[in-house]
Amino acid sequence: MARIAADMALNVIQLLGDLPEAQRGYFTRAQAVAAGVEDFELTRSVNHGFINRLDHGVYRVAGAGYDEHEDLRVAWFRLQPSAGPRDRVREPTIWVSHESAASLHGFGVYLADRPTFITVDRVQPRKGVKVHRRSDGLKGSEYTVIDSFAVTTIARTAADLARAKSDGGHLGRFIDEAIRAQAVSLDEVAEAMKLTTSDVRSMIAMDSQRASQ
């Protein structure tokens, strides 16, 4: 029985081809079905520990390694389970945004405990996932690629956080750290936020005042 399960798991991996490698070991049921994998093959592979089921319709090859963004990635796959790895970043209709984007950029103190995205289409996220619908999507200049995610740029992220009435001190720190790291310019942030550079400096000063208290 163990040999049969191992052969079945090998067949699943062979049918999936390069897909898991291109997605850090992840794949969705929709992608597996499109590759010719049967549901019972997935179930047996999971039961015997060759594949891990992370959430409804989202799997990962066992031994794929640690991923600090697993929760975010699983939520991302669930929102668009049929999309391939290239489509997700070359012609995206879903972008990591707001606090999740700030966390991916690595500046500020935003927590990424609630996966947050911008989407073109109307989607039904699972509990604990936040979606901002923007039917006209984002321009190519408004997003970048980080760790295989399509994510809003620093300037776009700052503007989105401000629009969502994020904590001013947290936002100021995010902007300040990004500018100090030369990852974005003051002018770029001001333009995206539709503010003057003086206004942005005042926002940065708000965080400095809080830190000194």
Residue range 98-121, pLDDT digits in tens: 999 999 999 999 987 899 999 999
User: What pLDDT was estimated at residue 9?
Assistant: 61
pLDDT at 197: 96
Task: Identify whether residues 53 and 80 lie together within a single domain.
Answer: no
**DSSP code per residue over 88-107:** HHHS-SEEE-HHHHHHHHT-
**CA angle, corner 16, sides to 44 and 46, nearest 5?**
20
pLDDT of residue 167: 83
> What range does the domain containing 159 cover?
70-212
Q: Are residues 38 and 108 in the same domain?
A: no
Q: Judge if 33 and 126 occupy the same domain.
A: no
Measured from the Cβ of residue 162, the count of other Cβ atoms closer than 10 Å reads: 19
- Please state the pTM of the whole predicted model: 0.90
**pLDDT for res 90:** 92
Residues 21 and 74 in one domain: no
Give the chain's residues under pLDDT 70. Answer: 1-10, 207-213
Where is the domain boundary, 61, 89, 111?
61
Q: Which of 31, 61, 91 is the last residue of a domain?
A: 61
